[in-house]
Structures are given as structure tokens and as C-alpha cells.
Amino acid sequence: MTTIKPFRVWAVSRKEFIHILRDPRSLGMAIAIPMLLLLLFGYALSLDVDNVPTVVWDQNNSQDSREFISRLQGSRYFSVRGYVTSYPEIEEALDSGAALVAVVIPERFAGRIESGRSAPVQAIVDGSDPNTATIAMGYLDVVAFGYSREVALSEIRRTTGQVVHPPVDLRARAWFNADLESKNYIIPGLIAVIMMVIAALLTSLTVAREWEQGTMEQLIATPVKGPELILGKLIPYFAIGMLDVALAVLMGEYMFDVPLRGSVALLFSMAAIFLAGALSLGMVISIVTKSQLLASQLAMVLTFLPSFLLSGFMYAIANMPLGVQLITYLVPARYFVTMLKGIYLKDVGLEVLALEAGLLVLFGIALMLFANVRFKKRLE
């Protein structure tokens, strides 16, 4: 059994700290890049569909048609940018991007409503972005339904003198993210993605750099054991990674106004476990490849793409094909993203997140053991 000597671990850690401080690129990559990514994704990436640019062709030009248009203008989801008088103008507005939605009100709109018949209203939606188009059409349905209900109730009240109430009065209330702002959903998951990418990318260069610079042979000749070398190289980046977590949490709280409702201690403890596994993954890549260029490329493929696409950070896992859903169980960021969103938005603890926490611990231990096994083989 290998006995780890703390003074040897400290000597390797001190050497790595000095290298980081003397190399501005490494220090910039370790601190500046995560903050930059958080700023870029936090401000640029949004799933909210608000103020959809809309043009209107009002062929009826009546009080009823203007009332219907006012419902669009009064909604936070639509922004009436102008009025058109023909289909070629609608086509031009949609082609140029000046509008995503065009609403066409027919000539007999008011007459059909007054006679008790349904009045068709045409909505033309730019389907280039299917997600936005689907949401916009849902908003249009809500506006049309609300207007139709009020017209029907007013007509009944006018003809019978009775006040009729709708049989179902739905009062929806959103929990955990009452304002339905996507940044409250994106920022916590983004922390996990950035940690995974940066941690693996940084440590993927450590051992490979020693091989390329010719200093690995010197380290092999020293009494430093493989586990001591790996642990010593991980400690500096672990400290920097936890600093990145603290900065990301502070930015989320004070810059993006994302509420942190859960336990801060649980958040940082789970972040530490996830960070240890991500750093160990980068170390394994570095040990296997022995090339900084190949290691950095492989680290991006094995961390960024799975973390971004398969962790549930951006896309709901339940909507993915079954085969892809099974693959997501191999992505550790999936469990950390679930924990972050639960801690941030729902204030849940280990009584709910015990499975994810256990799998994160398993991920960290497995990667650290594998890194030690691979490095021992390289020393032999």
C-alpha cells in the first residue's frame, strides 16, 4: 500500500502554483475565462419569448378590430411594429426579420361578431425558429381565447341581462420561478457546464506539459510517488476551481439576480466533489495523451459537448430519444445540474438529492482511482 507523504504533495503543489503564477495564460484561463463565459451566456442566452415583433393588416378597421389589436399591444409577449395593407408587405416583413408574426383581420370581422358568428383571424408566423414560432402561436391562442370569452359573456349579458361566470376559473401559479425568467433556470446549470469544461481543460495540460518539456523523467527519478504527484497537481487547480465557483455564485446573486434559496454549504460541498471528478478526468486525459494539443482537444470533446447538450442544462432530457436519454446517465454534469437547480430554485436538500449526490461521489472517486492506476502504469 502506497503511503502518501504530505510534504511531497505540498512540494508538487507549490511547484504547480509557481508555474500558474508565472504563466499569465494559465491564470487567465483559470479565472478570467469562466467569468467571461458566465457573462456571455448569462446575458446572451435566453429562452424567454417576449415582445415578439408583429405586424397587423386590419382590413376591417372597426372598433371591434381595434379592440382585438389592443389585446396584442397590451400583452408583454407581442410588440406591434407597424401596419401593412397587403400580403407582399407581410412577406417582406417576415423575410427581412422586421416581424416574426403577422395578424390579418378580415373585412367582415365586426359584422360576423355582431351577428353571433365566429370571425376567423389569420396569423402568419415565421417558422424558421420552430421553438419561438410554437410559443408565439400559443400566445396568440391565449389572446384570441381571452377576447372571444369576453365577447361571448358580453353578448349573453346584453341579451339576457344576466351576469354569466365561466364554469372553470383557472388560476395558475408558478412555483420556484414565479416570474418564469429563463436566467433563473440557465445560470445554475451554466455553473456546472463551465466548471466541467474549465476543470478538465486545465488539468488536461498538466502531465502532458511535463512530457513535452522533458521534465517528467526528472519527476519519475524523484521519490515522489504517482498518487502524490497527481494529488499535488490537483490541489492548485482545485483551489482555483473553488474560487471560480464562489465568483460564479456571487455573479449569479448580484449581477443576474438569480435567487439562491437553498443551502450554501451543500452547494459548495457538492461543487467540491464534482470539481474533484472533473479535475481527475482532465488528469486522465493528460496521462493518456501525453500531448497538450491532443489533450486540450479531447478535453473539449469529452466535457463541453456532453455537458452542454446532454446534461439537461439547455434541453429537457425527457424530450430526447430514448437512446440518448440512456447515454445521459453517463454524463456527470447531468447530476450536478439537477442538484444546482434544486438547491438554487427549490431549496431542497439531500433528502431529495441523495441519489445525485451519491453518483457524484462515485464519479469523483472512480476518476481519481483511474487516474492513479493509469499514471502508475506510465511510471513502470
What is the SS3 assignment for 47? coil
Distance CA 289, CA 286 (A): 5
Looking at residue 376, its pLDDT comes to: 60
Residue 246 scores a pLDDT above 80: yes
Looking at residue 55, its pLDDT comes to: 93
Over residues 70-79, the pLDDT tens digits come to 988 888 889 9
Residue 125: CB atoms within 10 A of its CB come to 21
Give 292's pLDDT tier (boundaries 50, 70, 90).
confident
> What are the residue ranges spanned by the domains of the chain?
12-46+181-379, 52-160
Q: What is the mean pLDDT of residues 83-105?
A: 92
Q: What is the pTM of this model?
A: 0.78
Decide which of 20 and 245 is more confident. Answer: 245
Q: Which of the 8 DSSP states describes residue 319?
A: G
- Cβ atoms of residues 208 and 291 within 8 Å: yes
Give 27's pLDDT tier (boundaries 50, 70, 90).
confident
Over residues 314-354, the pLDDT tens digits come to 778 888 888 999 999 988 889 999 999 899 988 888 888 89
Looking at residue 380, its pLDDT comes to: 47
- Looking at every residue in the chain, the average pLDDT score rounds to 83
Looking at residue 59, its pLDDT comes to: 92
Report residue 366 as a C-alpha cell: 472512480
State which amino acid sits at residue 356: E
Angstrom distances, CA of residue 21 to CA of 18, 237, 244, 245, 370: 5, 12, 16, 20, 29
Angstrom distances, CA of residue 43 to CA of 34, 48, 222, 272, 322: 14, 12, 49, 26, 32
Residue 364 scores a pLDDT above 70: yes
Residue 220 scores a pLDDT above 70: no
Distance CA 67, CA 341 (A): 42
Contacts with 194 (C-beta within 8 Å, 6 or more apart), sequence order: 34, 37, 38, 244, 248
Q: What is the mean pLDDT of residues 169-181?
A: 79
Give the chain's radius of gyration (CA, Å).
29
Pairing between β-strand 101-105 and β-strand 52-58 as defined by DSSP bridges: parallel
Torsional sign, CA 209, 212, 213, 215 = positive
The CA-to-CA distance between both ends of the chain, in Å, stands at 16
Tell me which of 3.50.50.60, 3.30.1490.20, 3.40.1710.10, 3.40.50.720 is the CATH number of domain 52-160.
3.40.1710.10
Q: Count, in order, helices (H) and strands (E) of the chain.
A: 16, 4
